[in-house]
Amino acid sequence: MLVKWTRCTVVDRRGFERGQRKWAGLLGEPGFRGQGGGWSRVRPGVAHVFAFWESRAFYDSFMARSHDRLAASQSGTFTDQQVRLFDHRFDVKTGFEPRFADTDLVRVAHCRVREERADHFALMQEKVWNPAMAGSPGMIRGLFGEAPGHEFLILSMWQSAAEHGKYREERVERLALRAQTEADVAALTGDIVELEPSWTV
């Protein structure tokens, strides 16, 4: 599965949201699995959208045919757009499905990892972070994705901000020490995204 993560700064909120609903046109596109997104809880005016495709070939075909027509309605409503593609490597918890209806919050972590530490980083994600997240009340599902250049995406879906907050307070520092995260990661950026139900396709 291919994961597309788009982040941008919105300058015309109403126009952007109107345009976002037009992405319902993705339904029926060959290989399209689902899309959802919302607003950053930390950075005012920053929107995130996550789209899922069966494969790179299906995604490339969509980009060549229909993308520009769907995107046209949002033209001029945002700046500073960043798009990244990741290959799904494994699930966090079990049976990841690109569904958003049962989720209020998405936590996204984007890591650039030191080349010689990439295998260790992926192993720690599987052996240390995944079990801790999977065992946290309120954590619904998630995935671990990889892009060329030792770049990784960890996406986790939560029932509520309160549940995610509990996990952060209780566990993160301890887990980071155990997983030697500091030694692995060259750069880490992240955000907490409050989902907007009308953006779900």
One DSSP character per residue, 58-119 reads HHHHHHHHTHHHHHGGGTTSEEEEEEEEEEEEEEESS------TT-SEEEEEEEEE-GGGHH
- Residues of the chain falling short of pLDDT 50: none
133 contact partners, CB below 8 Å, separation of at least 6 = 92, 93, 139, 142, 156, 167
Range of the domain at 139: 2-199
**Number of domains into which the chain is organized:** 1
Q: What is the pLDDT of residues 25-52, one digit of tens each?
A: 999 999 999 999 999 999 999 999 999 9
User: What's the CATH code of the domain at 148?
Assistant: 3.30.70.100
Do the beta carbons of residue 128 and residue 122 sit within 8 Å?
A: no
* Beta-carbon count within 10 A of 1 CB: 17
Q: Distances in Å between the alpha carbon of 96 and those of 22, 73, 127?
A: 25, 31, 18
Query: What's the confidence (pLDDT) of residue 187?
Result: 96
Query: What's the confidence (pLDDT) of residue 51?
Result: 98
Do the beta carbons of residue 104 and residue 157 sit within 8 Å?
A: no
